[in-house]
Amino acid sequence: MPSPRAALLAVGAQRPAPRRPRSGPYTGVPRVRVAVEEGPGDEGEFVTARLRLLEGFVAQSELADCAHLALQWLGEVLGIPQSICLVRPSDETSLFVIGTYGLAGSAVSRFSVSLEDWGNPLVTSFANRKEFFFPAPHSAADRKRRPGTPFEDSAFHVLPLGVSGFSEDAFGLLLVGGSAPFRPELHWFTNVFSQKLDQILRQQALADGDRKQGRERSLLYNIINAVTDPILLTDAEGRLLIANARALTLFTASEEESEGRRGAVRMNNMLLSSALSSKAIEETGATRRELLLVNPVDGSDLVFELLSTVTEDARQGSGVVSILRNVTDLRRASEEIEENYRKMRIAEVQARAESDRLNLIIDSVADPIVVTDAGGATSLMNEPAERLFTIPAQASEIEQRWVQANDAHFSSFIAGMLVSADQRRVGEIGLSDPKTGEAMPVEAIAGKVLSEHGELTAVVTILHDRREAIEKALLYEQLKQASDELERKIQAATADIAQQNELLRRQAIELEQASALKSQFLANMSHEFRTPLNAMLGYTSMLLQGVAGPVELPVKRQLGRIESNGRHLLTIINEILDISRIEAGRMPLQLSTFKIPDLVHEVKSELEPIIMRSKLMVTLQLPRDLVPISSDRQKVKQIILNLLSNALKFTHHGSVTIAARRNVRERTVTLSVTDTGIGIAAADQDRIFEDFRQLDNSPTRAYGGTGLGLSICRRLAQMLGGRISVQSQVGKGSTFIVTLPTKGRK
Amino acid sequence: MTKPDRPRVLLVDDYPDAREMYTEYLEFSGFDVVEAGNGMEALQRAVDTSPDIILMDLSLPVMDGWEATRRLKADQRTALIPVVALTGHALAGISEGAKKAGCDAFVTKPCLPEDLVREIRKILDGPPSSPLRKARRSGKHAKTS
């Protein structure tokens, strides 16, 4: 037995051996013609001829060549002119020509004998191994009995070819032409030829068997190679006999392979033989065990399950067939499965904890929560929901009815939710408190729970009792009404106030208008007063001047009275006009820059006639550093004029002093008029600036004047941004002080 | 009888007593007086009599003194005649309005006849440099010669 590998390779590479064509030229036949020519009668020559035939046979291994040689020998040595040899190939049911002699090729080419044609005398001969002689036919009946052969009407012998004693069946027929009787040499020939053909046929059968076996082995090996698990056949000593491709990579390595790879292979062989030896000796039959090997390619660990079976072979002794199943992945998969299972267990525990917690949460929520499956059936509800939707033990009939009504209401809400496409739905359901039957409107907030494929798995609904909210809304409404009422009242009050304000505003306007009218009236009146007074004063003046002729002295005195009273009246009218002008705002400021001393001199000179008459000493104290002031010159003059007039009027003895002083820090100028007159009592000092106020109010008072002078002065001083005050002692005199800003207001 | 050297005064006033009083005194004081009772009349008299000065009451019927003054000042023939506003109104703004209308002076009633004459003389005998006076004088000469 060659090494397994070599043997299998030989099988895989087997090709059909080259064969000579049957019809090809024959060159291997020994030359026997000379002997034939020497005549058959000679015993010694015949022996020589027989030897030559046998020698010729030795070299023959092909049926056709052998038949050719034999039939040629038959013709040349035994003088048989025509002959045909037929053989039954294995697995065939006909006899086919393998060689002819002395016959035309065309006559032989289609000749064959079907063994199923039992009426054919040739078949009888073949089946019974019986020789026949067919003489040349004498009649048509004779001819009919004869089998169809290339001999046609010629006589011929039929001799079965077969090996006596070895096999009972013939394997062919020899047809020999000629009417000559059987000769013993022919029997010898048949015998020898049969043996030779039998040998060739056996060899062919053997070769066919070998080929078939080789094909089968190749197929088997291909199958083995196709198996991804390593398969090995080892002999009793543990030597490797057969290995498939997968096994070869594990257990063989050529010299060219790397040292690491060869080391791995050595290690694998060691591991395998130790596994097999311990097993093979001790046990028989299939066993399973685990075998750890090294992957020579990358050095990784490989786990195999070793399946060994002891085989008994008569010729080759016992061996061990081992199948290694790679369970590395399996092991890994198993470990993974184990790990996954462990994780699953953990996840399950967590999920359960989560579920417990969820239940706890759901139960702790005061609002009822109901989870409904996709079919609308309730799958979970918390305790508050149970109170609404489940019938308690020992429930009264009415309680049951309330619960059923609640359930119906809720179901219809859920049904609506299930058919709608909405992801969420908020609605109101009119439930009832099962304990009391009290109406319990709830707000239902439902949300769909979808699986990751978008399929509806559940609907979660939270119900919120709206009674409190409604109660609150009611309270709120009442509060709002109260608030609205209050607001209305406030608005009414505000409107009232606004109305009153409007009224006041109108009154103010009316007052203002009245005041303006009064001022206008006074202005008009003063004009109307002046016109006649103008004529009166004019004519009086003319009379006094004697325009119309000389006037007697007493008349002149009386005319003087008319004139002075007329003038007094004019002063009164003028002052009334001033007050009304100031009050009507029709006395605008006309600012200019002027010097106080100039103004004081001007006033003094205007009043010079009165000063002369009064015989009083009028002194001016005007410092040089007085700066010009910016104010209304006319109004300042009017104040000074008034104060000086008063001083002269109420002073009988002594002097009048006009002084001016600058107050740098206050940016003011102070003008004072001091007299040594009758003076004013402290209690009266505030009243002297009031309208129409003269201290002596009696009809027989000693001093003239309207009583409006100081009042006008006060108003004018205020208009100019200043003030006026008095310091006085009864019997000693008075000092009037006017303070004005150096820069008047606009 | 009017003398050619007596200055002529056009006195415009709707109040007859006052008009008569001033006329009597002005004539007594040596003026030639022409009277008018309203603004319209005043315009006519001013053109007819070429007065040296016009005394203009402001509150007048038909045409008030402001309007009459404006027209006098707008008329080339009367533009150079000085106009003295004469009014019983003493409210602020009156004199402003009068100045705006073209009045040259402003006298408040009641005004004694002698005061008025003083005022008139002041204007007529104003400083020689006054353009008003020069123009009046030259006009007067042209007329007399």
CA distances from A452 to A358, A418, A544, A581 (A): 21, 18, 131, 97
SS3 string of A135-158?
Answer: CCCCCHHHHHHCCCCCCCCCCEEE
Other CB atoms within a 10 A radius of the CB of residue A718 amount to 12
Q: Could you report the per-residue pLDDT of A571-623, keeping only the tens digit for each?
A: 777 777 777 777 767 677 888 899 999 999 999 988 888 888 888 889 999 88
Q: Could you report the per-residue pLDDT of A698-713, keeping only the tens digit for each?
A: 544 556 566 678 888 8
Report yes or no for ipTM above 0.85: no
Which pLDDT value is given to residue B53? 92
Output A489 or A331, whichever has higher pLDDT.
Answer: A489
Please say whether the beta carbons of A547 and B123 come within 8 A: no
* pTM to 2 decimal places: 0.39
- Say yes or no for a CB contact (<8 Å) between A538 and B110: yes
Q: Could you report the per-residue pLDDT of A198-235, keeping only the tens digit for each?
A: 888 888 888 888 888 888 888 887 888 888 888 888 87
Closest to B91 (Cβ–Cβ): which among A523, A531, A539?
A: A523
Please indicate, yes or no, whether residues A302 and A321 belong to a single structural domain of this protein: yes
Chain B hits for A542, Cβ within 8 Å: 21, 24-25, 28, 113
**How many contacts does A have with B, using Cβ atoms within 8 A?**
62
> What is the number of structural domains in chain A?
5
Please indicate, yes or no, whether residues A594 and A569 belong to a single structural domain of this protein: no
- Contact of B33 with chain A, judged by CB distance below 8 Å, is answered with no
Strands (E), B31-142: 32-36, 53-57, 83-87, 105-108
User: Which residue does chain B place closest to A589, by CA atoms?
Assistant: B92
> What is the number of structural domains in chain B?
1
Please indicate, yes or no, whether residues A58 and A186 belong to a single structural domain of this protein: yes
- Contact of A574 with chain B, judged by CB distance below 8 Å, is answered with yes
Residue A384's SS3 state is helix
Which pLDDT value is given to residue A31? 41
Other CB atoms within a 10 A radius of the CB of residue A438 amount to 11
The mean pLDDT of A99-114, rounded to a whole number, is 84
Please indicate, yes or no, whether residues A497 and A629 belong to a single structural domain of this protein: no
Question: Could you tell me the CATH number of the domain that includes residue A89?
Answer: 3.30.450.40
Other CB atoms within a 10 A radius of the CB of residue A125 amount to 21
Please indicate, yes or no, whether residues A251 and A308 belong to a single structural domain of this protein: yes
Please report whether residue A421 resides in a domain: yes
Question: Could you tell me the CATH number of the domain that includes residue B32?
Answer: 3.40.50.2300
Which pLDDT value is given to residue B94? 64
Please indicate, yes or no, whether residues A421 and A475 belong to a single structural domain of this protein: no
Which among A528, A558, A587 is the end of a domain? A587
Question: Could you tell me the CATH number of the domain that includes residue A481?
Answer: 1.10.287.130
Cα dihedral: B79, B81, B86, B90 (round 10): 50
- Say yes or no for a CB contact (<8 Å) between A535 and B17: yes
User: Which residue does chain A place closest to B27, by CA atoms?
Assistant: A547
- Say yes or no for a CB contact (<8 Å) between A545 and B17: no
**Confidence grade of residue A1 (pLDDT, cut at 50, 70, 90):** very low
Chain A hits for B109, Cβ within 8 Å: 530-531, 534
- Say yes or no for a CB contact (<8 Å) between B92 and A587: yes
Please indicate, yes or no, whether residues A182 and A80 belong to a single structural domain of this protein: yes
Other CB atoms within a 10 A radius of the CB of residue A18 amount to 5
Please list, in sequence order, all residues whose beta carbon lies within 8 angstroms of the beta carbon of residue A553, skipping any fewer than 6 positions away. Answer: none
Cis previous bond, A628, omega within 30: no
Domain containing B100 equals 8-144
Please indicate, yes or no, whether residues A601 and A682 belong to a single structural domain of this protein: yes
Chain A hits for B93, Cβ within 8 Å: 586
Please report whether residue B96 resides in a domain: yes
User: Is the confidence at residue A28, as pLDDT, over 60?
Assistant: no
Please report whether residue B2 resides in a domain: no
The mean pLDDT of A113-138, rounded to a whole number, is 85
Strands (E), chain B: 8-12, 32-36, 53-57, 83-87, 105-108
Please indicate, yes or no, whether residues A712 and A663 belong to a single structural domain of this protein: yes
Q: Could you report the per-residue pLDDT of A438-461, keeping only the tens digit for each?
A: 888 888 888 888 888 888 888 888
Q: Could you report the per-residue pLDDT of A316-355, keeping only the tens digit for each?
A: 677 778 888 888 888 888 888 889 999 989 988 988 888 8
What's phi and psi for A334, nearest 5 deg?
-65, -45
Which among A299, A326, A353 is the end of a domain? A326
Residue A535's SS3 state is helix
Q: Could you report the per-residue pLDDT of A180-193, keeping only the tens digit for each?
A: 777 778 888 888 88
Output A37 or B48, whichever has higher pLDDT.
Answer: B48
- Say yes or no for a CB contact (<8 Å) between A538 and B15: no
Please say whether the beta carbons of A415 and A397 come within 8 A: no
Other CB atoms within a 10 A radius of the CB of residue A548 amount to 11
Burial A612-638 (b: 16+ CB within 10 A, else e): eebebebeeebeeebeebbbbbebbbb
Cα dihedral: B88, B94, B97, B101 (round 10): 10
- Contact of A634 with chain B, judged by CB distance below 8 Å, is answered with no
Please list, in sequence order, all residues whose beta carbon lies within 8 angstroms of the beta carbon of residue A407, skipping any fewer than 6 positions away. Answer: A389
CA distance B141 to A701: 60
Task: Tell me the longest C-alpha to C-alpha distance in chain B.
Answer: 45
Q: Could you report the per-residue pLDDT of B69-128, keeping only the tens digit for each?
A: 889 888 888 888 898 888 776 555 566 677 777 788 888 877 888 888 988 888 888 754
Among A83-87, A95-99, A449-453, the minimum mean pLDDT is found in: A449-453
Please list, in sequence order, all residues whose beta carbon lies within 8 angstroms of the beta carbon of residue A123, skipping any fewer than 6 positions away. Answer: A113, A114, A115, A117
Please list, in sequence order, all residues whose beta carbon lies within 8 angstroms of the beta carbon of residue A206, skipping any fewer than 6 positions away. Answer: none
Please indicate, yes or no, whether residues A58 and A150 belong to a single structural domain of this protein: yes
Other CB atoms within a 10 A radius of the CB of residue A62 amount to 17
Closest CA to A173 of A66, A92, A85: A85
Please indicate, yes or no, whether residues A528 and A675 belong to a single structural domain of this protein: no
Domain containing A450 equals 376-464
Please report whether residue B1 resides in a domain: no
Please report whether residue B24 resides in a domain: yes
Which pLDDT value is given to residue A32? 41
- Contact of A567 with chain B, judged by CB distance below 8 Å, is answered with no
Mean pLDDT, chain A, as a whole number?
Answer: 81
- Contact of B89 with chain A, judged by CB distance below 8 Å, is answered with yes
Which pLDDT value is given to residue A670? 92
Which pLDDT value is given to residue A562? 87
The mean pLDDT of A118-126, rounded to a whole number, is 85
CA distance B30 to B23: 10
